[in-house]
Structure 1
């Protein structure tokens, strides 16, 4: 369903960094949570928010790594309002505990954390691990923090959620009749892909439901960034990336450049009071058909990742799974 309105653009592009986006902004009194913020894009996101004066909570599994990241952010920004909290998105009790431990309003929720596996793994509920972590964990977290976000919106006229997706979404829609690979042969690339489609569909439905509360959600594609996620790539995945780079489909960005699109969705005025969009290279992406080849179209968003009917269905399925 291609949009018939002008796409939202900004003065930033693929070469911009997270610090470029927050340059000149005063985020004092803004409270932000960044999941998966101990390294990579999440750390770069948290650092730039802190540099602009925000109070930032690093929500991560490994709190020792989080403490090191927080110390690094303090040393580089001088911001003492950087906190660390334990969060394992694949563990329902951990998500519930994090939510219960949060106090006061929230203005920015950056759902950045993600996993890539090279084989079939399941969490305690038996859910396929990539979908459980990348989508269902963030879904439960966002629902649990809804009231805090609504309180933040009441303070600043809006609150924002950023859902970090990926070009990988182009490989698969949500396979609703077998989300957790209970019957079909397991393909880690397909599993990761549908989890990234889910991240985009979450933005669509969360905005539809929560915009009246002042909460707006957008999905972002960081682009090709070499991070710790790649340590679990299969050889097939690595070969594909080599082919894509050789074909000019993408060139690798720095983590700071990868975080720029996240910051655009989080703080740029162009994305104030509007949601359900998919951003790429610091601006809204164009829509491509579901049957479009990945090569040559890696900077768009497939229709299935913005489909409102699929978004509503996914929300219902996710509610049922997470209780």
Structure 2
């Protein structure tokens, strides 16, 4: 991401209505080891299913082990995959993240940072961190950096950060990330955490290129899943109408919502691509923001990305 001229925008034959199965068709992931966080619900299930169907050894990293076991059994039944594992991971609990990292053995080829929380009421971790930032960014930051050695051992690892067009709502407000001084607002907090996901991809791509690790972020699309458990149907309808300017925004199916994650995780079409933000299976247009389209310039700012990395390291160090 160095220099002033961004690379040419990358496009693929796939689009908004492509499914994860279509994107992964013909891809062979035999012998590749994959972790999907939040792999027991929403688009995480379909992301995991598609990658397992291509032959990957899959680990579902989940808070609810019973739900993970049900999902693993379903994936095995529908794909014939034999190597589907379940491991506990609570991204809001740094001890849980550390336990997952410690337990991991051997190389890791694909890490899909899919789990998240959206528009929650004001909640905090025991450290006093705002929950959405702590879960969506700090948890995944600790997980991914903790697994760096395993990713480097792959030789050609991919990390996928599931962000959102909600990053349009807020940059990372470095002066008050955890809403200690400003009034808490759920959507601003969510938007800030999703901007952090993109900035993580920008900085990790820069730092880890020499290790052969590609890191990209994405907007999966509007999908009705358990992610919106804190958001009422009325609130969702209001937000959708506001964003669309009176036009109808289409919901994606979970299979369609998982397609861009699977593209970045497995497709040869994006081999070697890193530090970018995708939507609808194509790189987003930079700086031109629609209701659900485009990536904000502040989310790709290398200086903000480097600053966030340092702030994240410093924040995690305070609990040691």
Per-residue CA deviation, residues 40-74 of structure 1 (Å, 9 max, x unaligned), is: 10000000001111001000000010000000001
Give 2:246's aligned residue.
247
Where do residues 91-240 of structure 1 align in structure 2 (5 Å cutoff)? 91-153=93-155, 158-233=156-231, 235-240=234-239
Deviation at 1:188, TM superposition (A): 0.3
Residue-by-residue CA offset, 1:101-139 (whole Å, 9 max, x unaligned): 001100000000000243100011110000000000000
- Whether the 8 Å contact between 1:288 and 1:297 is mirrored in structure 2 is no
Aligned to 2:311: 317
Equivalent position SS for 1:286 = coil
CA RMSD of aligned residues (A): 1.6
Preserved contact between residue 116 and residue 130 of structure 1 (Cα < 8 Å): yes
Cα distance in 1 for partners of 2:163, 2:189 equals: 13
How many residues align? The count is: 314
Q: Distance in 2 between matches of 1:198 and 1:247?
A: 30
Instruction: State the distance in 2 between where 1:213 and 1:96 align.
Output: 22
- Partners of 2:199 and 2:141 in 1: CA distance: 11
User: Retained in 2: the 8 A contact 1:165–1:196?
Assistant: yes
Aligned residues of 1:201 and 1:305 also touching (Cα < 8 A): yes
CA distance in 2, matches of 1:245, 1:231: 22
Deviation at 1:245, TM superposition (A): 5.1
1:264 is paired with a residue whose SS is helix
1:171 Cα deviation (Å)? 0.5
| Higher mean C-alpha deviation, range 280-289 or range 220-229 | 280-289
TM-score (norm 1): 0.94
Structure 2: runs of 5 or more not aligned = none
Q: What's the secondary structure of 1:279's corresponding residue?
A: strand
1:269 matches 2:268: yes
Cα 1:286–1:224 change in 2 (3 A) is same
| Superposed CA offset, 1:257-316 (max 9, x none) | 010000111112232112110001001001116xx5xxx352100001100000000000
Per-residue CA deviations over 1:188-228 (Å, capped at 9, x if unaligned) read: 00000000000000000000000101111000100111111
Output one character per residue of 1:74-95: Cα deviation in whole Å (capped at 9) or x when no partner.
1101111000000000101000
1:276-287 to structure 2, matched below 5 A, reads 276-287=275-286
Quote how far apart the aligned CAs of 1:6 are. 2.3
Q: Return the alpha-carbon distance in structure 2 between the equivalents of residues 231 and 2 of structure 1.
A: 41
* Worse-matched range after superposition: 222-231 or 201-210: 222-231
**Cα distance in 2, alignment partners of residues 5 and 151 from structure 1:** 28
Structure 1 residue runs of 4+, over 6 Å off?
Answer: none
Is the CA contact (8 Å cut-off) linking 2:101 and 2:143 kept in structure 1? yes
Aligned partners of 1:163 and 1:199 also within 8 Å = yes
